[in-house]
């Protein structure tokens, strides 16, 4: 029986079963399901139109040929049939046969319960397919729904068969605006949501990539653009904006997935007279031009019905003289009601920021014991080089600790906020500070593994000199910094204290590789020499590596389809898929220790008791 054919359009056929495309290039040789070439008899069935040496029973052969064509059509149409939509319930479950949202699920933990690829067989990992885009580096995390991968670069969306890496469709919308990168898509039922460099939202039909509607999020002429992957919460498409070259106001808004109409908008700076406006200068319009962009995708707790989001730096950038005060709600972690956009609570990692240290890094959600009591927690490794743990029900501060070297803070205040040193502020003569404006970490994804109870972050030691360059009233960028030296490290943190449990050096330079952990006792990331790494999440020991010939500029993801687990790695402008060889999948049973956590009342797994975690680390 024919398994599949590809690259066959207006095809001509010869009597040996080889097809040629309309361009005259050979296509795939017809094969059986087990990979063998078809027999002469099977080839004869294909060659009816050539009146080859057929057996006498023409009617029987024609019937068989018709059946084969029907089966072939069903095979080819399988991806299109699968693209009929996302079951909303998939967003509430651990990502296995789907990866339905930017972080895999609402928690932001980037942990997969799949374990077919595991620490006992990682040495057998092999390349399954590669898909080059030849346009721009792939900085997005693909979605995987119904056997289709959906991923982006600025102005572009692709749908690719998740089994074989074959393109199904490609959408392109050229635009003006900042093309620094793109993080990915949101999905609701049959529809995809894509932000653009000119600050628009595009809704596409997932089946064929046709446009349903396009709406403007903000005026690109004012300096707005968009890079983030929208987050879908029930019938809300939550989307943010980017841009800090001009002094524009950041916001987060919810759109109707059917029409694109605005349901609510929350500004990252309060209106004059509203709570938080007292942290901006009076008798000034600075609060209405204060920045605070919502660059990255947030997280969501369905049990509490709270949306968690990080906000960016205040404007003017690096110049704080014209905006005295804490400048709420910039450089903050906020909790919002997704149905109304109302602020529930906030915590500010960097009050009155003058170093461009956005707090947009993923707010990771998990349930665990803290000081002997079960708590609903939120953890963030922030760009200012500090690690924060909060009670996500009310924003109560629990932990503040540096996760990498820093020179700008002298301590921590009673509210858990780092206390800046006056001489670390930018000046005309320059101030030597660690980290640079690039941060101790940045947008690359962290991970939390419930098997070890550890939080993982790719961190950077970066020294820079911060200059204040503005004369008179600062606008846009009021200063600049120049990096002097950098290197990178992968760190595992104890969420209870913020202390480093283990350290894995990644080499000179600043990494932008993200992290994925799995139930197979593996952590995937990359070093600065272009090596894809699989390390032991309990110890940091390298278990496997492969030089990819370039840097990993996004975050790994994984899914299982047709009984086979795939690992997806974007490297520069190529999407790579890795898997175990079929004979390894078929001939082995995975024997990995059971995960050490119990299910909590919410969708986020609870962590193990401390004694079990410590036992796992020994």
14 tagged catalytic: no
Looking at residue 87, its pLDDT comes to 83
Looking at residue 63, its pLDDT comes to 54
Instruction: Find, among 175, 216, 230, 213, the residue nearest to 197 by Cα.
Output: 175
Looking at residue 66, its pLDDT comes to 55
CATH 2.140.10.10 fits 88-352+360-467+480-617, yes or no: yes
Looking at residue 50, its pLDDT comes to 38
98 phi and psi angles, rounded to 5 deg:
-135, 160
pTM attached to this predicted model: 0.84
- In sequence order, the β-bridge partners of residue 575 are 131, 570
DSSP 83-101: TT-B-GGGGGS--SS-B-S
Q: How far is CA 610 from CA 26, 236, 412, 615, in A?
A: 60, 38, 26, 9
Looking at residue 76, its pLDDT comes to 47
- In sequence order, the β-bridge partners of residue 512 are none
**3-state SS assignment for residue 327:** coil
Cis peptide before 513 (omega within 30 of 0): no
Which residue is catalytic, options 178, 353, 356, 438?
356
Q: How far is CA 487 from CA 308, 407, 442, in A?
A: 30, 16, 14
State the DSSP code for 476: S
State the DSSP code for 579: E
- pLDDT, tens only, 51-77: 344 344 444 555 555 545 554 544 444
Domain boundaries, the chain: 12-82, 88-352+360-467+480-617
Looking at residue 94, its pLDDT comes to 81
- pLDDT, tens only, 572-589: 999 999 999 988 988 655
Looking at residue 88, its pLDDT comes to 78
Q: How far is CA 321 from CA 275, 330, 424, 570, 594, in A?
A: 22, 16, 14, 42, 55
Give CA–CA dist 558/542, Å, rounded: 19
Q: How far is CA 228 from CA 20, 134, 152, 242, 516, in A?
A: 42, 21, 11, 8, 19
Q: Alpha helices, DSSP H only, in 450-598?
A: 582-587
Q: b/e string for 4-40 if b means 16 or more Cβ within 10 A? A: bbeebeeeebeeebbbbeeeeeebeebbeeeeeebee
Nearest-5° angle of CA 106, CA 108, CA 110?
115
The stretches in the chain having pLDDT less than 50 are 1-59, 67, 71, 73-83, 590-618
Looking at residue 421, its pLDDT comes to 98
448, 379 Cβ separation under 8 angstroms: yes
């Amino acid at each position: 029986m024919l398994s599949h054919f590809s690259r066959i359009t207006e095809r001509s056929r010869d009597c040996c079963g080889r097809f040629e495309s309309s361009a005259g290039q050979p296509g795939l040789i017809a094969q059986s399901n087990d990979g063998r070439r078809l027999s002469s008899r099977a080839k004869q069935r294909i060659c009816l139109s050539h009146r080859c040496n057929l057996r006498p029973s023409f009617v029987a052969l024609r019937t068989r040929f018709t059946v084969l064509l029907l089966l072939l059509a069903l095979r080819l149409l399988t991806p299109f049939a699968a693209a009929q939509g996302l079951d909303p319930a998939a967003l509430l479950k651990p990502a296995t046969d789907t990866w339905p949202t930017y972080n895999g699920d609402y928690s932001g933990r980037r942990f997969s319960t799949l374990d077919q690829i595991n620490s006992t067989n990682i040495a057998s990992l092999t390349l399954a397919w590669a898909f080059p885009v030849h346009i721009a580096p792939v900085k997005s995390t693909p979605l995987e729904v119904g056997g289709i991968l959906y991923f982006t670069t600025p102005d572009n969306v692709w749908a690719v068969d998740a089994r074989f890496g074959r393109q199904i469709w490609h959408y392109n919308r050229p635009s003006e605006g900042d093309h620094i990168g793109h993080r990915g898509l949101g999905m609701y039922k049959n529809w995809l949501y894509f932000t653009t460099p000119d600050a628009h939202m595009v809704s596409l039909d997932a089946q064929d990539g046709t446009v349903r509607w396009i709406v403007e999020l903000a005026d690109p002429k004012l300096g707005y653009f968009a890079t983030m992957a929208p987050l879908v919460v029930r019938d809300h498409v939550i989307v943010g904006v980017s841009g800090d070259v001009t002094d524009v106001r950041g916001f987060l808004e919810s759109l109707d997935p059917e029409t694109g109409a605005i349901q609510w908008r929350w500004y990252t700076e309060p209106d004059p007279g509203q709570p938080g406006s007292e942290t901006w200068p009076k008798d000034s319009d600075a609060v209405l031009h204060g920045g605070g962009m919502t660059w990255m995708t947030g997280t969501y707790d369905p049990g509490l019905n709270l949306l968690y989001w990080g906000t960016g730096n205040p404007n003017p950038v690096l110049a704080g003289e014209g905006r005295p005060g804490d400048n709420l709600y910039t450089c903050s972690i906020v909790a919002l009601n997704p149905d109304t956009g109302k602020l529930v609570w906030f915590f500010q990692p960097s009050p009155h920021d003058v170093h461009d240290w956005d707090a947009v890094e993923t707010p990771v959600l998990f349930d665990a014991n803290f000081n002997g009591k079960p708590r609903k927690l939120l953890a963030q490794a922030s760009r200012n080089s500090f690690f924060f743990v909060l009670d996500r029900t009310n924003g109560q501060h629990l932990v503040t600790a540096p996760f990498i070297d820093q020179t700008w803070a002298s301590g921590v205040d009673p509210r858990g906020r780092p206390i800046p040193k006056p001489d670390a502020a930018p000046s005309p003569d320059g101030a030597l500070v660690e980290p640079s404006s690039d941060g101790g970490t940045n947008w690359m994804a962290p991970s939390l593994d419930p098997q070890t109870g550890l939080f993982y972050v790719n961190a950077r030691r970066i020294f820079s000199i911060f200059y204040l360059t503005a004369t008179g009233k600062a606008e846009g960028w009021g200063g600049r910094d120049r990096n002097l030296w950098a290197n990178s490290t992968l760190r595992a943190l104890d969420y209870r204290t913020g202390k480093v449990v283990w350290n894995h050096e990644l080499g000179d330079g600043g990494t932008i590789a993200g992290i994925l952990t799995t139930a197979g006792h593996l952590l995937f990331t990359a070093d600065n020499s272009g090596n894809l790494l699989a390390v032991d999440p309990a110890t940091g020991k390298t278990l496997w590596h492969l030089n990819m010939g370039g840097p990993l500029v996004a975050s790994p993801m994984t899914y299982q389809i047709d009984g086979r687990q795939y690992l997806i790695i974007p490297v520069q402008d190529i999407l790579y898929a890795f898997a175990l060889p079929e004979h390894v999948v078929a001939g082995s049973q995975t024997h990995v220790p059971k995960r050490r956590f119990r299910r909590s009342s919410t969708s986020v797994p609870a962590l193990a008791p401390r004694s079990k975690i410590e036992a796992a680390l020994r």
